[in-house]
Amino acid sequence: MLFLRSSGNKEINVDNHHEKYNALNDKVEVACNNRVGRHTVAIDDLGVNETVLAEDALAHVLYPNRNGLNCQHCCKRLKSAVPCKRCSGVAFCSVGCRDEAEVSYHNRECEFQVINHSYFNWDDFNLI
């Protein structure tokens, strides 16, 4: 059984993971043809609510109106905000989230937080 963590720290599991693609259920195979390109095909019956694929998000962005309400790193609802050491554009739920964000991505985007939130018309995006 393979366990992965989503950004909300909810545990997601793939019971029987594929031997080549760890995040993929072994009841699914990756195929490729000229008509549809690369795709997946079920090679066995899938159960109701059976996880087919589980992996971490490549990227995420909070709506600007969620800044100060949700953690910039894990997206959890804030109980008490931990600020960035260098900017006032984001808030984190813990020192751990702040420090992890700092070493992984926020150190490169910190100075652009004001631009990020004022440049785009976020209503033009169909974000979930």
pLDDT of 45 reads 93
SS3 state at 122: helix
What pLDDT is attached to residue 97? 94
pLDDT digit string (tens) for 15-68? 677 778 778 888 989 999 999 999 989 999 988 888 888 877 777 778 777 878
- The pLDDT score that the predictor gives to residue 5 is 43
pLDDT band at 123 (very low <50, low <70, confident <90, very high): low
As a whole number of angstroms, the distance between CA 69 and CA 122 comes to 17
How much is the pLDDT for 3?
A: 41
The pTM assigned to this predicted structure is 0.53
**Greater pLDDT, 84 or 22:** 84
Taking the alpha carbons of 12, 73, 62, 60 in that order, is the dihedral positive or negative? negative
Predicted pLDDT of residue 124? 52
Ranges of each domain in the chain? 2-42, 64-124
How far is residue 70's CA from residue 64's CA, in Å, rounded to a whole number? 10
The 8-class DSSP code of residue 103 comes to I
Mean pLDDT calculated for residue range 84-108? 90
Which has more pLDDT, 115 or 103?
103
